[in-house]
A and B are shown apart, each in its own frame.
Chain A
Amino acid sequence: AQTVTQSQPEMSVQEAETVTLSCTYDTSENNYYLFWYKQPPSRQMILVIRQEAYKQQNATENRFSVNFQKAAKSFSLKISDSQLGDTAMYFCAFKDTNAGKSTFGDGTTLTVKP
């Protein structure tokens, strides 16, 4: 079974600064997807960014980028130029390409301070 570990329960960052959220996972599969989801105080979970394991290039979505280290089974999220609206809980998730379900980490609560 796959496991996803987020070792930072809480983090904070000053507005406009950069912050990195950590995620490690354990799997014996070779083909899979990794995701970061954001859950703001409104509770609506939305996808921030995704990475296909077969791609060596790290995914980027505007201010959000990942550092995907397949051999180390590490998948960190970097948020640049942090904004107050980035305050949320962030979940790292894993999905095997041959399975229907996703496995989530415990989440990291990020607070962006003005």
Chain B
Amino acid sequence: DVKVTQSSRYLVKRTGEKVFLECVQDMDHENMFWYRQDPGLGLRLIYFSYDVKMKEKGDIPEGYSVSREKKERFSLILESASTNQTSMYLCASSPARFHEKLLFGSGTQLSVL
């Protein structure tokens, strides 16, 4: 089965910590995305990438950065975690720049205490 894998299902961090959320896809997809999911707010796009070493800001990039050193891996970085970043984080990928369908990972529930 083709997959988008997020390294952690649950994560608990302290305020001020640097946090890395990892996402790996095994489908040779060009596009990768990080969404944040909060109750009543749906999915909001944080960052996305069309290619290695390329990144573009989504709708809510503040407080986040990303890294894509290899095609299969897209990392979301919280430089200094804050309590308002407690959320579900979903990684997704798609095979070409204008391809329509997203394939999702199973999410990382991050709690910042």
Using A42-B106, A107-B42 as known contacts, say yes or no to A101 and B48 having CB atoms under 8 A apart: yes
Across the two chains, which residue of chain B brings its CB closest to A34? Answer: B100
Contacts of B31 in A (CB 8 A): 100
Across the interface, do A100 and B98 meet the contact criterion of CB distance under 8 Å? yes
Residues of A13-54 contacting chain B, CB below 8 A: 33, 35, 37, 42-47, 50
Using A43-B107, A45-B90, A47-B102 as known contacts, say yes or no to A100 and B97 having CB atoms under 8 A apart: yes
The number of residues on chain A lying at the interface, defined by a beta carbon within 8 Å of a beta carbon of chain B, is 26
Interface of chain A, main secondary structure: loop
Total contacts A-B at CB 8 Å = 54
Contacting B42 at CB < 8 Å: which of A33, A42, A43, A91? A91
Report the minimum CB–CB distance from A95 to chain B (whole Å): 6
Across the interface, do B101 and A106 meet the contact criterion of CB distance under 8 Å? no
Contacts of A98 in B (CB 8 A): 98
Contacts of A47 in B (CB 8 A): 101-102
19 contacts between A and B (CB under 8 A): A4-B42, A6-B42, A33-B100, A35-B101, A37-B102, A37-B104, A42-B106, A43-B88, A43-B107, A46-B104, A91-B43, A97-B100, A98-B98, A99-B98, A100-B98, A102-B45, A104-B44, A105-B42, A106-B40
Residues on B lying within 8 angstroms of A by beta carbon are 31, 33, 35, 40-45, 48, 50, 56, 58, 88, 90, 92, 97-98, 100-102, 104, 106-107
Residues on A lying within 8 angstroms of B by beta carbon are 4, 6, 9, 33, 35, 37, 42-47, 50, 91, 95, 97-107
